[in-house]
Amino acid sequence: MLAIDQLSKTYADGNQALERLNLTVGNGEIVALVGGSGCGKTTLLRLIAGLDTASGGAIRLDDQTIAGPSADVGVIFQEPRLFPWLSVADNVGFGLSHLSAFEREGLVANALARVGLAEHGPRWPRELSGGQQQRAAIARALVTRPRLLIMDEPFSALDPTTRQSLHRHLLSLWDESRPTMLLVTHDVEEAVSLADRIIVMQPNPGRLYEEFANGIARPRDRMGVAFERLTREILKSLDQSLRPAAHAVAAAAEGQAAWW
């Protein structure tokens, strides 16, 4: 279980990104975070990944405090971030250097097969399409069997068809070992498609505003009534979460604020 207790983050320039944020994500649960600019979504993920230091509060994974990068936490970024000088297989196996070559090759081959890239291991990242590169990034994040997988808008640069295909790949992989997953996205339909729970964050400083349980059975029909209703409710909550910010910039924005 991921437990975030009274988490705060203030940067050196005085910008308060997060204020006393509390959040619990159960084992095997998929939670999506949505919110306007400045609500601290990416800051939160960096703190959970151990890539930054909190100003206050604590982050625990199964009662162990997260104080730095850990093999128990896998990360998928907005871009694949594959090393161009390594083959696809070597990129996927980058975090397995502590294993024997035989063990590493077996795990990498299995991970590539699971994301549909079994024949692409010897290739260079530049030879893959954008969707294939992100599949390789997913394989790299999951090959170590992390207890927690955090994702920062991992599909935002992809076309809708490729994005939905990767959604199916991700859920299929998740179903095998059920890691806890925390996803940041600006796409509300993506959040409803993937997550068990969707949390709306409020900016300036970042804090939780409202959460929505998603009881729609998988696979989820994007054209279904329940899917459309939940999407509308979340969009309404997003608009409401930005009303204080909208008042602050009313003159410049003519009283309107776009959460995306």
Contact present, 166 and 134 (Cβ < 8 Å):
yes
Residue 253, pLDDT score: 43
Distance CA(14)–CA(48), nearest Å, equals 21
Enumerate residues 6+ apart whose C-beta is below 8 A from 51: 69
Sole residue written with tokens 């983050």: 9
Q: Higher-confidence residue: 51 or 259?
A: 51
**H or E stretch including 10?**
strand 2-10
At 127, give phi and psi (nearest 5°).
-85, -5
Cis amide leading into 203 (omega within 30): no
Task: Compute CA 100 distance to the chain's CA centroid, rounded to the nearest angstrom.
Answer: 30
252 has pLDDT over 70? no
Which residues neighbour 56 within 8 Å (Cβ) at sequence distance 6 or greater?
A: 6, 7, 8, 20
Residue 67 and residue 61 in contact, taking contact as beta carbons nearer than 8 Å? no
Whether CATH 3.40.50.300 fits 2-72+147-253: yes
On whether the CB atoms of residues 216 and 226 are closer than 8 A, the answer is: yes
> Does the structure show a pLDDT above 80 at 164?
yes
How far is C-alpha 194 from the chain's CA centre? 11
User: What pLDDT, on the 0 to 100 scale, is given for residue 54?
Assistant: 92
* pLDDT computed for residue 87 by the predictor: 95
Q: How far apart are CA 54 and CA 16, in angstroms?
A: 11
Q: Are 154 and 182 in contact (CB under 8 A)?
A: no
pLDDT digits (tens, 9 = 90+) for 122-138: 999 999 998 899 889 98
Which of the four pLDDT bands, split at 50, 70 and 90, describes residue 244? low
Is the pLDDT assigned to residue 236 strictly greater than 50? Answer: yes
| Contact call for residues 145 and 111 (beta carbons, < 8 A) | no
Residues 92, 108 contacting (CB under 8 angstroms) = yes
**Cα gap 128→110, rounded to integer Å:** 19
At 248, the pLDDT band (50, 70, 90 cuts) reads very low
Give yes or no for a cis peptide into 160 (omega within 30° of 0).
no
More confident: 96 or 191: 191
pLDDT at 238: 93
What does the domain layout of the chain look like in residue ranges?
2-72+147-253, 83-145
